[in-house]
Amino acid sequence: MIATTTLHGCSLINGDWTPGTNGEITGFDPRTNDRLEPAYSLANSAQLKQAITAAKRAFRSYRLTTPEERADFLTSIADNIDASAEEIIQRASLETGLGTARLTGEIARTSNQLRLFAETIRTGAYHRVRIERGPRVDLRQRHIPLGPVAVFGASNFPLAFSTAGGDTAAALAAGCPVVFKAHNAHPGTAELVGKAVQGAVEKHSLDAGVFNLIYGRGVEIGQELAADPAISAIGFTGSRQGGLALSQTASQRAVPIPVFAEMSATNPVFVFPGALEGPDASEALADAFVLSITGSSGQLCTKPGLVFVPRGLAGDAFVELIATKFTQSSGQTMLTKGIAEAWQRGVDTLHSQPSVEVLAQGTAGPGANAPGPVVFESDIQVLLNNAILQEEIFGAASLIVRYDSPTQLHDAAEALEGQLTATIQATQKDIKDVSALLPLLEDLAGRVLFGGWPTGVEVGHAMVHGGPFPATSNAQSTSVGTLAIERFMRPVSYQSLPEELLPSPISEANKWSVPREIDSY
C-alpha cells in the first residue's frame, strides 16, 4: 500500500473536515490494482443534509457578492491549484494511471478555465441585461443564480471535470454554492483540489457553505442529492445509466429541477472521397485517427467511435493503413479495473454482432488494465439495421463503417442518436455533398468540425460541449466554455421599480458597467 500523510480522508462539510459513518473506500493504482491510503470515510444521510443546509444558508450572502468579489474568489482557487500542482498531479497519476504530461495539461486547463470565468464575470455579459423604457411601463431584465448546485465528479477528468472543474466553476461564477460529490476512483485528488477551494473561501471570508465536498456511496448519495428540495440544479458527467437515474429523480420531485448531464456519444466522423486524395492525405488522416482513438486510452467523451469511409481503392488503402497502425499500437492503463472490464464487455458485444469484423488490434500495455486498442469494420446497412453498433465503448475502440455513396450518409445522420460532435473530413471537391449533409449534422450534434478530430475541446466563449439526447440531458446548453454559467441562472423581469430598488446591473447608474441592450426592439 502507498501511504499519503497529508490527506484527511473524509468529507468537507460547512468548512470542517468531517469523518463519515457510512463505511469507507480507498483509491487504487490501476497499473497494479494496489490499494492507496488513506481510506476515505463515507458521509451518512444526516451529514449530507448538513452540507446541503450549509449551501442553502450560504446562498443568501454569496448570491449578493459583486462581480469583482466573485471573480477574485475564482482567481484565488486557480492560484491555489497552481501552487499545489505538483502534489495534485502526483496523487492524480497514482489514482488514475494517467501520465504526468496529460495531467499537467489538465491542471492548467482547470485553473485557466477558472480565470476565464473570472474574466467573464468582470465583464458582466452573463447578466444578459435588457431594458425597455416603454411609453407605458419600464421593463428591465437580468439573470439571477438558481441556488445550491450538486456537482458530480467525472472518472476520466479528475481535474477539469471534477472538484473545481467546469461545472463547479460555472456554478460558483453564477453565484451558486456547490455541494460536490467526489468520484470514488480518485478521492485523494478530490481532497487536494477541495483544499484549494476551501483556502479561497477562507481567504475571501465567504460563508463556509459555499463549497462542500462529499464522499459517499455513488447511487445512494446521488439520489439523495437529486431529491433534496434545497438543491436547485445538477451538473453531471458520466454514464447514461447514472445521468438518467439522476434526471428521473429530479423530474419527479415536488419542484422539479434541471439536470445537466453529459452521458454518451460515439462522435461520428464522415470521411468524404476528396479527403483521401493526394500522396500523403491518407497517411496523415490515419495517423490522426489512431492518435484520437488511443490518446488517454480512448477514455474521452469526444472519442470518434464511428468513422464512415467510402468504398473504392482509396478507401481500401486508408483502411489498410489504419489496420497497420492499430496493429503497431499498444494499450495504455485505463482509469480503473472496472472500466477496463466494461471496455472488454463492450468489445466482446460488438465483435459478436453479425457482419462486424475485427480489423486490427494492438498489443496489451504493461501492467494491469491496459488492453490493446481495437478497430472494427462493418457496412453502413448493417449499422442502420443494428442499434448495438451505435453503442459507445468507453476506451480505445472504434468502428469503421463503409459506404458506397455520400447520399447514404444522410440515412446514417438521421438514424444516429444525439452526439456531442460530428466531424467532416473533406476537401473543396466535396463541398456540394458536405453542404447537403450539414443541416442533418446540425440537428445531430452540439459541435460540428471540419477537419481535425473531436478529442480537442477548446475552453472559450464560443465552445459548445453538449448535444441532443443522449449525448446530454439538455441540448440547450454546454458544459465547457463561458456559456455554461447560464445553466445555473434564470431570467427575472422588473417592471416600473424605482431607481433606488433596482439591482446594480439594471440600474441607471450601472456602476458595474454591465453590457446592456437598451430600447433595441
Question: What single-letter DSSP state applies at residue 372?
Answer: P
Q: Regarding beta strands 306-310 and 397-403, do their DSSP bridges make them parallel or antiparallel, or are they unpaired?
A: parallel
Q: Return the C-alpha cell found at 255.
A: 419542484
Sheet of strand 516-518, all strands in order from the earlier edge strand to the far edge: 489-495, 138-145, 129-133, 516-518
Whole-angstrom Cα Rg for the chain: 24
Q: Which of 262, 377, 392, 417 is catalytic?
A: 262
Sign of CA dihedral 427, 432, 435, 436: negative
Q: Regarding beta strands 269-271 and 259-262, do their DSSP bridges make them parallel or antiparallel, or are they unpaired?
A: unpaired
10 is catalytic: no
176 is catalytic: no
Q: Which of 176, 191, 224, 301 is catalytic?
A: 301
| CB neighbour class for 218 (10 Å; exposed up to 12, middle 13-18, buried from 19) | middle
Q: Long-range contacts made by residues 494-501, C-beta under 8 angstroms, separation at least 24?
A: 494/139, 494/140, 494/141, 494/142, 495/137, 495/138, 495/139, 495/140, 496/137, 496/138, 497/138, 497/140
Q: What angle do CA 456, 462, 463 make, to 5 degrees?
A: 30
Q: What angle do CA 140, 59, 81 make, to 5 degrees?
A: 110
Torsion of CA 451, 452, 455, 457, to 10 degrees: -90
- The separation between CA 40 and the C-alpha centre of its own chain, rounded to angstroms, equals 25
SS3 state of residue 194:
helix
SS3 state of residue 10:
coil
Separation CA 36–CA 92 (nearest Å): 11
- By annotation, the residues acting in catalysis are 262, 301
